[in-house]
Amino acid sequence: MIMKGKKGIIFGVANQRSIAWGIAQKLMEQGAEVAFSYMGDRLKGNLDKLLADKPGTKMYDCDCADESQIQRVADQYQADFGTCDFVVHAIAFADKSYLEGDFLPTPKHVFLQAMDVSAYTLVSITRSFRPFMNVGCSVLALTYLGSEKVVQNYNVMGVAKAALEACVRYLASDLGPHGIRVNAISAGPVNTLAARGISDFTNLLKIHRIVAPLRENTTPDHAGGAGLFLLSDLACGVTGEIMYVDGGYNTIAVGPLAAYDLSPEPKD
Ligand code: NAP
């Protein structure tokens, strides 16, 4: 029970397929007391069902695009729990009309909204919870390879994830001297609600299964195991890191030839 006596909050469980739910399950199995933040009544219903066997679990409604709502959740959390040992940031948003085709047409308001919800919220959530974080507290965000390499259709979300990863490093630098760690998991593609907004996502999953050394898709459970490690004292020496949980996909430059159409090119 490596999380016994630890308490914290998870932002971003939408349903049983959510990566954050994989992390939540591992934390609870290991004795952590977990509070949840959700956006809107629809998602509260999902959480109520997922947590039916954990009556009394604290849940807070929050649209993280609104900083005052983040502060309100932090205040409510502090009133309920006093202190905090972990925070999981598993939220992201971009207008799905721009998660297909070229990146070039992305309008400014779409760019700024993706940055705001997917990257800046890590800063505002961390700042609001900072006053009552215990020494040893661990903050975890979720990112994707599209931040550093081009993944077709990921577009503005890739730019937002690059910003998120930079935020992880700067926050880790600020908070490290106070014994607080900040890391991210870079997960392979997982078939979640958010991911379905990305055009051709099913093919991305297929390519991943062919190319990744482990020859399988990443699951919330995979991310959950790594999340448990990073949020626990086992990772007390780890901060500012982006940890890949993608079956090794990021290490491959040229994958199995079966992944490519190698039929002879037509002669002119
Ligand atoms: P998910 O289950 O759909 O979770 C995303 C959550 O973000 C949803 O609960 C969503 O609520 C919430 N959200 C969006 N805008 C919000 C806002 N303004 N305020 C509060 N919550 C908001 O999808 P997921 O794939 O597990 O995503 C979790 C994290 O993992 C994200 O950061 C995502 O980018 C990252 N990630 C995903 C993959 C993948 O392939 N799935 C891979 C690597 C990293 P609504 O449903 O109401 O929008």
- Ligand 1 atom, smallest distance to 191 CA: 41
Domains, in order of start, for the chain:
7-248 (3.40.50.720)
- Ligand 1 atom, smallest distance to 195 CA: 41
Write the pLDDT tens digit of every residue in 34-59: 999 999 988 899 999 999 999 999 99
Name the residue with the closest Cα to ligand 1, atom 29: 90
Distance 181 CA to ligand 1 centre (A): 22
The whole-number pLDDT of residue 12 equals 97
Distances in Å between the Cα of 50 and the Cα atoms of 21, 100, 140 are 9, 32, 22
Check: CB of residue 84 under 8 Å from CB of residue 77. Answer: yes
pTM (whole model) above 0.95: yes
Pocket test for ligand 1, best of 13, 64, 91 (most atoms within 8 A of CB): 91
- First-to-last CA distance in the chain? 66
Check: CB of residue 245 under 8 Å from CB of residue 44. Answer: no
Residue 147 and residue 163: Cα distance in Å, rounded? Answer: 8
Q: Which of 154, 170, 249, 260 is catalytic?
A: 154
Q: Angle 141-158-99 (CA atoms, 0-180°, nearest 5)?
A: 115
Q: Is 260 a catalytic residue?
A: no
Residue 151 and residue 100: Cα distance in Å, rounded? Answer: 11
Pocket test for ligand 1, best of 17, 25, 39, 116 (most atoms within 8 A of CB): 39
Task: Walk along the chain (268 residues) and give the pLDDT tens digit of each residue.
Answer: 999 999 999 999 999 999 999 999 999 999 999 999 999 988 899 999 999 999 999 999 999 999 999 999 999 999 999 999 999 999 999 999 999 999 999 999 999 999 999 999 999 999 999 999 999 999 999 999 999 999 999 999 999 999 999 999 999 999 999 999 999 999 999 999 999 899 899 999 999 999 999 999 999 999 999 999 999 999 999 999 999 999 999 999 999 987 778 888 877 7
Which residues neighbour 19 within 8 Å (Cβ) at sequence distance 6 or greater? 12, 90, 142, 187, 190, 192, 220, 223
Write the pLDDT tens digit of every residue in 150-169: 999 999 999 999 999 999 99
- Ligand 1 atom, smallest distance to 91 CA: 7
Residues with CB under 6 A from ligand 1: 12, 14, 18-20, 39-40, 43, 62-65, 90-93, 117, 142-144, 187, 189-190, 192-195
